Amino acid sequence: MIKSSKPLPAASLHIVLALLEGELHGYALMRRVGELSDGAVKMGPGTLYGTLNRLVDDGLIIETTDRAAHTDTERRRYYELTPTGRAVALSELARLQMLVHRVAGHLAGGAPA
Amino acid sequence: MIKSSKPLPAASLHIVLALLEGELHGYALMRRVGELSDGAVKMGPGTLYGTLNRLVDDGLIIETTDRAAHTDTERRRYYELTPTGRAVALSELARLQMLVHRVAGHLAGGAPA
DNA sequence: CTCTTGACTATCGGAAGTCGATATATCATA
DNA sequence: TATGATATATCGACTTCCGATAGTCAAGAG
């Protein structure tokens, strides 16, 4: 099996998970990340924009140029997952699912792994 | 309403989740955290022991003195959750469950929350 | 007995990641 | 015109993470 790279840092993780639902711009991403955890996770601009650039550099997301082009007055920058980014997001999701399932399962029934 | 504090950093999170299953010593914790994610998360000693001390300082875990006392030759230091720590762990687990559920649900059917 | 290996705790320093404050600009509403 | 939400961006300080390193102890190999 292909050795998957290390888990994404928290901010990157939340961003790619949010982007599984479709392209978003930075500010919307900030809100969405908060919504997905009922406000438990609050990502400020300092974290957001730096992380966004890192994700672009790492090839996990790209800025969707079409959208930016198609309105003149648009300040928003939309981002979407690359195929790689999507794979990473799904892999991270699976990791979380497994973690949650195992811990919760252990609590419920004391069922062995 | 009790203002829930910020999400735990990754290492702390994994440690308290692992300790929901019962007390463990540092080295076992290292292994368990890896097991819970099929090796995806690898916590080295540098991360482990610093984090452990921070969690003790924050009152989320305590060293279980009884176990250490009851064998002479025991080098191991066992840790368990405090009531606060347990509450935090469960709250973090719930947060992850919600996140995973929402993202996965959206993928599956586009089903609304 | 000695040598190696694995269990186990521990610390250090640098790198990476996070956060709040701040800045700037647009737009809607009052 | 002034307030507040939208929207992007950067800075510096702080927190967190990680690999390397080090040391002790016990068990098994030679």
What are the φ and ψ backbone dihedral angles of A85, each rounded to 5 degrees? -60, -40
Residues 6+ away with beta carbon under 8 Å from B25: B76, B77, B78, B79
Residue B43 sits at the chain A interface (C-beta within 8 Å): no
Tell me the residue ranges of DSSP E strands in chain B. Answer: 24-25, 61-63, 78-81
Q: Which residues of A touch B21 (CB under 8 A)?
A: 103, 106-107
Is the separation of the CB atoms in A22 and A80 below 8 Å? yes
Is the whole-model pTM more than 0.75? yes
* Out of B20, B38, B95, closest to residue A107 by CB: B20
- For the stretch A5-63, pLDDT in tens is 789 999 999 999 999 999 999 999 999 999 999 999 999 999 999 999 999 999 999 99
* C-beta atoms of B103 and A113 within 8 A: no
Is the separation of the CB atoms in A64 and A80 below 8 Å? yes
